[in-house]
Structure 1
Amino acid sequence: MTGVPEARTTTGGRATAAAGPTVVGVLADPGAPAELAHRLAEELPALLAAQQDGDRGWDVRVEVLRLPPQSPGHRRLLDAVGPRMREGEWALTVCLTDSPLRGGAAPLAGELLGAEGVVVVSVPAFGGVALHRRIRGVVAELVTAAGRDPEERADRRTSALVGPFRRVVPDEEPENLHVLASRGRLRLLAGMVRDNRPWRLVPSLSGALAAALATGAYVVVTSSIWQLADMLGPVKLVIAMVFAVAAMVAWLILDHHLWERPSGTLDREEVRLYNASTVITLTVGVGCLYAGLFVVIALTEHFLIAPGYFESNLGHPVGLGDYLTLAWFATSLALVAGALGSGFENEDDVRQAAYGFRERERREGPDGEDGSDDRR
């Protein structure tokens, strides 16, 4: 069995019954899956009690650790889960992972391994909206199905599923149950971007931000830049903005080696998915940086540049639109300079925005054999 790191344990949502509660362990990847797991611990007992017949209570316990990557038959995952089930005397185990799972043409949102009493849920398959509510429904559906025989699972008419998900009983594995996500590819990509949390990229770009602010300060006090900005129309200003954002994203990808290529552990479909999520994540993150720079530069120029002096340099009356035009152009110039400053960032901080890097870290692990380390 593969080794696993020491986990952090919390207990939530305890329920009691005369025969004692059924213990469900929840193992979650760090980050978004862990946050969702702790919320589930509070709400899942009541939901399971409503789904199940009888007065049995539920005790949900959460552990946070880096789950192993996919393997045939979930062998590596089961090797990691088995000791914890025995030590904690768990009746069932729910694994919340941020790895995409394969379910044929449609992404696999969740899977019940009936013989092992293990439920595997892929957080990215749920997209970027109503995440908690949908995951709670799928987990409740699969945990409840674990207590039923295969015929009852296939014929069951009521369901806890919320959103565009459907239940499938594999013909070759009738003891298992799959939950597939419709409109899956775009939803999966949105879920991967959300799991990357692009808004957290901005604090990691401190070097780029410093270079951009220095450039912006120079631009604001340079009258020739004022005149150039005044001559540019909206179309050219948009082109300058798109170029600046694209240059920053391209520089981050190239400088920090974020572009994935097919290899022994990643096939072409995975590479396309990971690269798309990385580009979108960086674009959103750099867009947030651009918006912040725009606000800072606009406030600075409004404070420093007197309307009369501004008007004398442009040769026509000025208003708010002229100040915003200058701020817009100055922000684009500043962001291009910021791209050069991004080369001084901590590589690990920036690489966390790349799904492929985290998956490669999971697959290779610290010893090249296991991906179950607790780094994020």
Structure 2
Amino acid sequence: MKPIQVGLMADPAAPTELAHRLCDLKPPGGTERAAWNIEVVSEPFSMGSEDVDTALARLRDHARDHEWDVVIGLTELPFRDEGDGRYLLAETDQGQRAAVLSLPALGGVSMHRRGRHAVRALVSGLDGTAQDGHGEPLPRFTNRFRLLLGMVLANRPWLLVPGLKSALVAALATGAVATINSTVWLLAGSLSPWRLLVAMIASIALVVGWLVIDGGLWDRAEDNSDGAKERSRLYNTSTLITLTIGVVICYLALYIVNLVWALFVLDPAVMGGYLKVSLDYGDLFVLTWFVASAATVGGALGSSLESEEAVRAAAYSKREEDRRNKLANERNQK
């Protein structure tokens, strides 16, 4: 029985990595089914996340060029059904045996397992396996929360930390000096817990806002249509959540380092005698909390980014913009 030629056309980076791990996929139904020969091509294939028809058209073109019987596109971009506004997990063109799968719509958790199931279901449906009862159905739609979670995890917010290396160094230096300053001790001791909490939230919000403005990460709708506005809201929400998680990680790292420094170099009894107040080691935790908030703002706003790419990668709109520019350059060179 002649093998079925299956093409997996994947966006660069994580989708391509997943696609290569799916090369051993076998059709459901065992040996009585035609085998799948899977080929992976890494290339940004979508002109815009809002246009799933364009993505399918590009997939069909690649299928003809590579002589694939079935082609599946794997992308980290979201798709939306313009008819009812729901978010798509996958869209298929049964006649042309092509399908596109939005990986963030899988939820961002257990991506390998979920990706294998989704791709097997799509290929089975397109090569006719599902029609004889061997294939498993795949939902067409997903919900907004699951898609948003997948987008945030695809952005890998923990990788923002290396991009803020210089800001962290500046913040650590600021915190180290502030920790041994008697005025800072008095100010920290005078603040109530809720004010310290507000200071922490405000410092994180300020840094996130600065990153958005400095990196030009705020997405604006291309027109006044409901679809364009909803797409911008989705992009901006995922960007803000990603940056907030990354900055919180930096804040916690700064707090821990400053706390270790304070415990190592300071004696609360000595500082209390100098300030003529009663202090103990519990006050060091309060001091470090206040210093972390102040140093986060002072260090981050007072220094440049170590790597702007780490921050810009947190925005889906910028990633899509890079894809469009690359595709436009390819067309101009032809």
Q: Normalising TM by the smaller chain, what interval?
A: 0.7 to 0.9
Greater helix share, structure number: 2
Task: Return 5+ residue gaps in structure 2 as ranges.
Answer: none
8 Å CA contact 1:33–1:96 kept in 2: the answer is yes
Counterpart of 1:31 in structure 2 is 13
The equivalences for 1:1-376 within 5 A come to 19-42=1-24, 44-45=25-26, 48=27, 50-51=28-29, 54-70=32-48, 74-75=53-54, 77-79=56-58, 82-83=61-62, 85-86=63-64, 88-103=66-81, 104-148=84-128, 160=136, 166=139, 179-181=140-142, 184-263=143-222, 267-313=228-274, 315-319=277-281, 321-341=282-302, 343-365=304-326, 367=328
Distance in 2 (alpha carbons) for counterparts of 1:76 and 1:86: 15
Give the deviation of 1:256 after TM superposition: 1.5
Tell which deviates more after alignment, 237-246 or 219-228: 219-228
User: Could you tell me which residue of structure 2 aligns to residue 11 of structure 1?
Assistant: none
Who is 1:9 aligned against?
A: none
Partner Cα separation in structure 2 for residue 144 and residue 248 of structure 1: 48
Could you say if the C-alpha distance between residues 355 and 119 of structure 1 is closer, same or farther in structure 2, counting changes exceeding 3 Å? same
Partner of 1:171: none
1:205 and 1:342 in contact (8 A); partners too: no
**Counterparts of 1:313 and 1:58 in 2: how far apart (Å)?**
77
Deviation of 1:80 (Å): 5.7
Equivalent position SS for 2:105: helix
Q: 1:153-198 deviations in whole A, cap 9, x for unaligned?
A: 5xx877636xxx63xxxxxxxxxxxx212xx111111111111111
Q: In structure 2, what residue type is equivalent to 1:213?
A: L
Identify unmatched segments of 5+ residues in structure 1.
Answer: 1-18, 167-178, 372-376
Q: CA RMSD in A?
A: 2.7
8 Å CA contact retained: 2:9, 2:40: yes
Aligned residue type for 1:258:
L
Q: Decide whether the 8 Å contact of 1:98 with 1:195 is kept in 2.
A: yes
Q: 1:81 to 1:206 in 2, by over 3 A?
A: farther
Identity of aligned residues (%): 39
1:6 corresponding residue in structure 2 = none
Contact 2:46 2:58 in 1 (8 A): no
In 1, the alpha carbon distance for the partners of 2:211 and 2:251 equals: 15
Residues 341/80 of structure 1: CA separation in 2 closer, same or farther (3 Å cut): farther
**CA positional deviation for 1:253:** 0.8
Q: Are the aligned partners of 2:59 and 2:73 in contact in 1 as well (CA < 8 Å)? A: no
1-structure distance, mates of 2:135, 2:327: 41
Question: For residues 122-163 of structure 1, what are the alpha-carbon distances to aligned partners after superposition, in whole Å with 9 as ceiling and x for unaligned?
Answer: 0111113233222222211111111239xx75xx877636xx
SS of 2:80's equivalent?
Answer: coil
Q: What SS does structure 2 have at the residue aligned with 1:94?
A: strand
Whole-Å separation in 1 of the counterparts to 2:154 and 2:312: 14
Alignment check: 8 A CA contact 1:198 1:285 kept: yes
Tell me by how many angstroms 1:88 deviates: 4.0
Q: Is the 8 A contact 1:69 1:362 kept in 2?
A: yes
Segment of structure 1 superposing worse, 63-72 or 87-96: 63-72
Over 3 Å counting, the alpha-carbon distance change for 1:116 and 1:137 in structure 2 is: same
